[in-house]
């Protein structure tokens, strides 16, 4: 068998001048695969080694991370940006599930809920990841579903579970015991002191294996019947959403108190969309549409274009204050205006991404943090009238009353766990020119498993709100997608790929991605330096999870922030706490067109990992 000598992205100790980052830059010229788990990166490398393209490899990594419960499962959701070297265009894959039949504001309020639940069968949107994977593979890949799912199926048959997932299961076992199918999968040592798998124990998911085997079986039958590769993959997709797998998902979900109907799964479709983008200093930055938080990064860039960030100095008090407030302005708009564009009312996205609107917002940034920053009115910038002007005015009055200029205390563990609720990311590219950036999520531990399918259900219903004062565009309705935090990124320069980047971390995602991008563009960091660099995280926006809390002025900084910066930020009204690492587990690829190579970066904590050739 031919041997491949792989460049591995591994943690290295700091060794002074010769090693400026804790991990080295990952270099490659033929392909690159980076994701949230070492075994999943290996799955991508296997597909590349078998001749697959970046889409094939990305699908294999997505399947592997979903099987390994890397803050997602097979019943979760997938969002992807893909650069097609044939058309030289970026396309967006919307594989977000939607609210099931009966999921309305009135229903949740009738259950005594102020918000949709964080966990359980009522937190579940319809599964999106299987459809997203099969659509990407059918439309843009080259391999069969059988080839791409092979690593994940081997993992489902049994793999040595790593500490993070094993301990997460143990720490959440009380919740897991509420759901019979989850208990059967996650707690192999029921009744013992430790009921979760031990670290390094072979973790077996036979039901999930059988579900994936059914998809491969259907594909094989279609190919035998002389169907094309694409038709055969879509036949498998049909079985998942309309066949016996769908029936068992619905049965198992409803048995545990969920709302799914067979029609909910049958009617759900992946959407291939036009992404949104803005130009920042000659670079086109692409994000998903406003059913994600992605446009908040684009708004932030538009606002920051009005400032000389480089002259402020990297992470100076002035820089931090300016970027913090720019994010506060953009995220205030996110919190009030973003929602599923397939439903009325439609978000005023043209006005929100207007450069003139950004200039108006930029004028609000001062030398002190403003804890009362709220949403603006973008409608005049797209020639319209705001239908929620009275709601906007009443919100402004209540913010001024509730936040009298003092930061809110309480960056406690439960709040931070919610605010930065994780996911994973998948980045892949190849010599042919395909580039893939994915931020999948949903179905993290503790998850409800849907009957005997092994499929863990999403918890994304919690990203809806039930009070129109919070966001009249993001109220639950059957068939509607919630406004989510998931946000892959692609950037082009001179019409060619420049950066592919994504990160896990809930509401902190576009904060960390914004600062990563500025690290590269404004401060000339290489891709690994930019992933490890000290970012800051704001909490002056609604959490997209749980009770949708907001904590104006609260900021997390890296613990090596100098005392004089701390003093200045304190004077500017910030409530600070400090962590050893603050960049978020960013995964990224930078394209070196001078040498025709790829540079990969992956943050220096977490389990994210890359392989290239």
* pLDDT band per the 50, 70, 90 thresholds, residue 5: very low
The helix (H) or strand (E) run that includes residue 611 is strand 609-612
Same domain, residue pair 85 and 31: yes
Q: Tell me, yes or no, whether 431 lies in a domain.
A: no
Which whole-number Å values give the CA distances from 255 to 134, 175, 458, in the listed order?
A: 28, 17, 16
**Which percentage of the chain shows pLDDT scores above 70?**
92
Same domain, residue pair 301 and 246: no
Residue 193 has pLDDT above 90, yes or no: yes
Task: Give the Cα separation of 132 and 62 in Å (integer).
Answer: 10
Residue 399 has pLDDT above 80, yes or no: no
Q: Summarize the confidence of residues 379-398 as an average pLDDT.
A: 88
Q: Tell me, yes or no, whether 352 lies in a domain.
A: yes
Residue 9 has pLDDT above 50, yes or no: no
**Which percentage of the chain shows pLDDT scores above 90?**
88
Same domain, residue pair 395 and 457: no
Same domain, residue pair 283 and 175: no
Q: Summarize the confidence of residues 152-178 as an average pLDDT.
A: 97
Structure tokens at 410: 């309480």
**Is 547 within 8 Å of 564 (Cβ atoms)?**
no
Which whole-number Å values give the CA distances from 431 to 3, 7, 428, 597, in the listed order?
A: 20, 16, 11, 9
Same domain, residue pair 491 and 379: yes
Same domain, residue pair 245 and 351: no
Beta pairing partners, 28: 598
Q: Summarize the confidence of residues 417-433 as an average pLDDT.
A: 81
Of 74, 219, 45, 213, the residue nearest 138 (C-alpha): 219
Output the pLDDT for position 505. 87
pLDDT in tens, 441-477: 999 999 999 999 999 999 999 999 999 999 999 999 9
Q: Is the dihedral of CA 235, 241, 243, 246 positive or negative?
A: positive
Strand order in the sheet with 575-579: 537-538, 554-558, 575-579
Give the residue with greater pLDDT, 257 vs 606: 257
Structure tokens at 25: 């830059």
Alpha helix segments (H runs only) across 386-536: 389-402, 413-419, 509-521, 527-532
Residue 18 has pLDDT above 90, yes or no: no
Output the pLDDT for position 410. 53
Q: Tell me, yes or no, whether 473 lies in a domain.
A: no
Of 427, 425, 454, 429, the residue nearest 440 (C-alpha): 425
Beta pairing partners, 598: 28, 591
Q: Summarize the confidence of residues 101-109 as an average pLDDT.
A: 98
Task: Give the Cα separation of 144 and 219 in Å (integer).
Answer: 8
Output the pLDDT for position 394. 81
Same domain, residue pair 295 and 245: no
Q: Into how many domains does the chain fold?
A: 2
Q: Tell me, yes or no, whether 326 lies in a domain.
A: yes
Same domain, residue pair 377 and 257: no
Which residue, chain included where needed, has tokens 């931090």? 320
Task: Give the Cα separation of 57 and 94 in Å (integer).
Answer: 19
Of 32, 26, 37, the residue nearest 69 (C-alpha): 37
Beta pairing partners, 556: 537, 577
DSSP structure string for 357-402 = HHHHHHTT--SS--TT------GGGGT---TTHHHHHHHHHHHHHH
Mean pLDDT computed over every residue of the chain:
93
Reduce the secondary structure of 118-174 to three states and give it as a string.
CCCHHHCCCCCHHHHHHHHHHHHCCCCHHHHHHHHHHHHHCEECCHHHHHHHHHCHH
Q: Tell me, yes or no, whether 435 lies in a domain.
A: no
Same domain, residue pair 347 and 282: yes
* pLDDT band per the 50, 70, 90 thresholds, residue 422: low
Q: Tell me, yes or no, whether 84 lies in a domain.
A: yes
Q: Which of 407, 428, 463 is the last residue of a domain?
A: 463
Structure tokens at 505: 């971390």
Planar angle of CA 423, 426, 431, nearest 5 degrees: 175
Output the pLDDT for position 547. 83
**Is 15 within 8 Å of 583 (Cβ atoms)?**
no
Same domain, residue pair 400 and 530: yes
Domain of residue 366, CATH code: 3.60.20.40
Same domain, residue pair 232 and 329: no
Q: Tell me, yes or no, whether 470 lies in a domain.
A: no
Q: Summarize the confidence of residues 551-556 as an average pLDDT.
A: 94
Structure tokens at 297: 């990064």
* pLDDT band per the 50, 70, 90 thresholds, residue 110: very high
Same domain, residue pair 447 and 561: no
**Is 553 within 8 Å of 540 (Cβ atoms)?**
yes
pLDDT in tens, 322-346: 999 999 999 999 999 999 999 999 9
Range of the domain at 45: 7-270+440-463
Q: Summarize the confidence of residues 582-588 as an average pLDDT.
A: 92
Q: Tell me, yes or no, whether 475 lies in a domain.
A: no
Output the pLDDT for position 421. 55
Task: Give the Cα separation of 21 and 519 in Å (integer).
Answer: 14
Structure tokens at 432: 């042919």
pLDDT in tens, 118-160: 999 999 999 999 999 999 999 999 999 999 999 999 999 999 9
């Amino acid at each position: 068998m031919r041997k491949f000598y792989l460049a591995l992205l591994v943690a290295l100790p700091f060794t002074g001048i010769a090693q400026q980052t804790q991990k080295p830059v990952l270099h490659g010229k033929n392909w690159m695969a980076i994701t949230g788990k070492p075994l999943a990166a290996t799955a991508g490398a296997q597909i590349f080694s078998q001749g697959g393209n970046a889409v094939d490899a990305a699908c294999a990594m997505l399947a592997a991370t979903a099987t390994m419960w890397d803050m997602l499962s097979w019943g979760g959701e997938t969002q992807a940006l893909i650069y097609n070297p044939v058309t030289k265009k970026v396309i967006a894959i919307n594989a977000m599930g939607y609210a099931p039949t009966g999921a309305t504001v009135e229903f949740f309020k009738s259950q005594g809920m102020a918000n949709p639940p964080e966990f359980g069968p009522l937190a579940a949107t319809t599964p999106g990841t299987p459809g997203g994977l099969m659509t990407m593979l059918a439309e843009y890949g080259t391999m069969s579903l059988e080839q791409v799912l092979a690593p994940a199926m081997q993992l489902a048959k049994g793999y040595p579970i790593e500490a993070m997932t094993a301990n997460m299961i143990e720490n959440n076992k009380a919740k897991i015991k509420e759901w019979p199918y989850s208990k059967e999968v996650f707690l192999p040592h029921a009744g013992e002191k430790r009921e979760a798998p031990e670290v390094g124990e072979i973790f077996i998911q036979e039901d999930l294996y059988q579900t994936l085997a059914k998809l491969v079986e259907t594909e094989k039958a279609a190919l035998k019947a002389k169907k094309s590769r694409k038709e055969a993959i879509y036949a498998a997709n049909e079985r998942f959403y309309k066949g016996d797998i769908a029936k068992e998902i619905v049965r198992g979900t409803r048995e545990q108190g969920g709302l799914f109907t067979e029609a909910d799964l049958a009617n759900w479709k992946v959407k291939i969309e036009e992404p949104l983008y803005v130009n920042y200093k000659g670079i086109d930055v692409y994000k998903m549409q406003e059913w994600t938080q992605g446009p908040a990064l684009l708004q932030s860039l538009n606002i920051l274009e009005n400032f000389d960030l480089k002259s402020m100095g990297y992470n100076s008090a002035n820089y931090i204050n300016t970027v913090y407030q720019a994010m506060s302005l953009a995220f205030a708009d996110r919190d009030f205006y973003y929602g599923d564009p397939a439903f009325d009312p439609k978000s005023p996205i043209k006005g929100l991404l207007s450069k003139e609107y950004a200039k108006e917002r930029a004028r609000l940034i001062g030398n002190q943090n403003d804890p009362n920053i709220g949403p603006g009115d973008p409608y005049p910038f797209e020639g319209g009238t705001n239908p929620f002007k009275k709601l906007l005015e009443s919100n402004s009055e209540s913010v001024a009353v509730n936040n009298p200029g003092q930061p809110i205390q309480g960056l406690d563990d439960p709040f931070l766990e919610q605010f930065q609720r994780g996911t994973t990311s998948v980045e892949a590219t190849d010599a042919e020119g395909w580039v893939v950036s994915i931020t999948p999520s949903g179905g993290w531990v503790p998850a409800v498993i849907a009957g005997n399918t092994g499929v863990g259900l999403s918890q994304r219903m919690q990203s809806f709100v039930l009070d129109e004062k919070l966001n009249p565009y993001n109220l639950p309705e059957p068939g509607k997608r919630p406004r989510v935090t998931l946000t892959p990124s692609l950037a082009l320069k001179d019409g060619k790929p420049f950066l592919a980047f994504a990160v896990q971390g809930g509401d902190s995602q576009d904060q960390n991605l914004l600062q990563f991008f500025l690290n590269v563009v404004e401060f000339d960091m290489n891709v690994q330096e930019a992933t490890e660099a000290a970012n800051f995280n704001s909490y002056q926006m609604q959490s997209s999870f749980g009770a949708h809390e907001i904590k104006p002025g609260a900021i997390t900084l890296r613990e090596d922030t100098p005392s004089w910066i701390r003093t200045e930020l304190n004077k500017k009204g910030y409530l600070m706490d400090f962590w050893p690492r603050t960049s978020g587990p960013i995964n990224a690829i930078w394209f070196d067109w001078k040498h025709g190579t790829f540079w990969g970066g992956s943050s220096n904590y977490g389990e994210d990992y890359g392989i290239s050739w």
